[in-house]
Amino acid sequence: MKDPLHILLVSNSSVLSRSLTAILLKNKNTKLDIAADSGSAIDKIQHIPFTILLCDTDLPEKECADLWRVLKKKKIELPVLALLGPEKQKLEKDFLAKGAQGCILKKPSEFEKLPKEIELALERFNLSLREKELETQIAKQKTALRNINQKLEDYAFHDDLTGVYNHRYFQEKLREEFSRAKRYGQPLSLLMVDIDAFRTINETKGHLIGDSILKELGRVLSDRSRDADLVARYGGEEFALLLPHIGTEGALVLAERLRKSVESHVFLKGKDSLKITVSIGLSSFPDDALQKHDDLIKLAEKALIHCKGSKKSNAVCTYNSLMKNIEAQTKYLKFSEEKVIEFRQRLLDISETAKRMHIESTKTLIYALEAKDKYTLGHASRVAQYSAMVAAEMGLADEDVATIEHAGLLHDVGKVCISDEVLLKPGAFTAEEYEQMREHPVLGYQMVKPIKFLKEEALIILHHHEWFDGTGYPHGLKGKEIPVGARIVAVLDAYDTMRAAGARYKKTMSMQQIVQELVRQSSTQFDPEVVTALLRVLVRRGEVKEDSYDAKKLRSQ
Q: What is the pLDDT of residue 311?
A: 52
Among 418, 458, 460, 412, residue whose Cα is nearest residue 437: 418
Sign of the CA dihedral with 266 first, then 268, 269, and 275 last? negative
Return the CATH number at 105.
Answer: 3.40.50.2300
Q: Could you tell me if 367 and 508 lie in one domain?
A: yes
Average pLDDT over residues 343-359: 48
The predicted-structure confidence for 293-310, as pLDDT tens digits, reads as follows: 899 999 999 888 888 765
Query: Does 312 have pLDDT greater than 70?
Result: no
CA-CA distance, 300 to 280, in Å (whole number)? 8
Q: Residue 94: give the domain boundaries.
A: 5-130
0.85 surpassed by pTM:
no
- Asked if residue 384 is part of any domain, the answer here is yes
Among the three residues 296, 313, 348, which one is the final residue of a domain in this structure? Answer: 348
> Do both 50 and 81 map to the same domain?
yes
235 and 269 co-located in one domain? yes
| Number of structural domains found in the chain | 3
Q: Using alpha carbons, list the distances in angstroms from residue 176 to 172, 180, 182, 291, 314.
A: 6, 6, 10, 14, 31
Question: Would you tell me the crossing angle of helices 440-448 and 431-438 to the nearest 10 degrees?
Answer: 30
Positive or negative torsion for Cα 513, 515, 520, 524: positive
Q: Give the residue among 369, 331, 348, 323 at the shortest CA–CA distance from 501.
A: 369
What is the CATH classification number for the domain harbouring 477? 1.10.3210.10
Amino acid present at 134 = L
Instruction: Report CA dihedral (169, 172, 176, 178) to the nearest 10 degrees.
Output: 100
More confident call, 481 vs 369 = 481
The pLDDT, as a whole number, for residue 340 is: 41
184 and 258 together in one domain: yes
Instruction: Judge if 315 and 381 occupy the same domain.
Output: no
Q: What is the pLDDT of residues 228-248, one digit of tens each?
A: 999 999 988 999 999 999 999
In this structure, what are the phi and psi dihedrals at residue 403, rounded to the nearest 5 degrees? Answer: -60, -45
SS3 assignment, position 422: helix
Q: How far, in whole angstroms, is CA 543 from its chain's centroid?
A: 36
**Mean pLDDT to the nearest integer, 395-410:** 92
Same domain, 211 and 183: yes
402 and 516 within one domain: yes
User: pLDDT-derived band of residue 551, with 50, 70 and 90 as boundaries?
Assistant: low
Residue 154 lies in a domain: no
Q: Tell me what percent of the residues of the chain surpass a pLDDT of 70.
A: 85
For 381-394, write each residue's pLDDT tens digit. Answer: 899 999 999 999 99
Looking at the structure, do residues 434 and 294 belong to the same domain, yes or no?
A: no
Average pLDDT over residues 87-101: 81
Same domain, yes or no: 335 and 399: no
Q: Per residue in 34-73, is it b (16+ CB within 10 Å) or e — as a string?
A: bbbebeebbebbeeeebbbbbbbbbbeeebbebbbebbee
pLDDT at 289: 72
331 or 61, which is more confident:
61
Largest CA distance in the chain: 114
Q: Are residues 375 and 326 in the same domain?
A: no
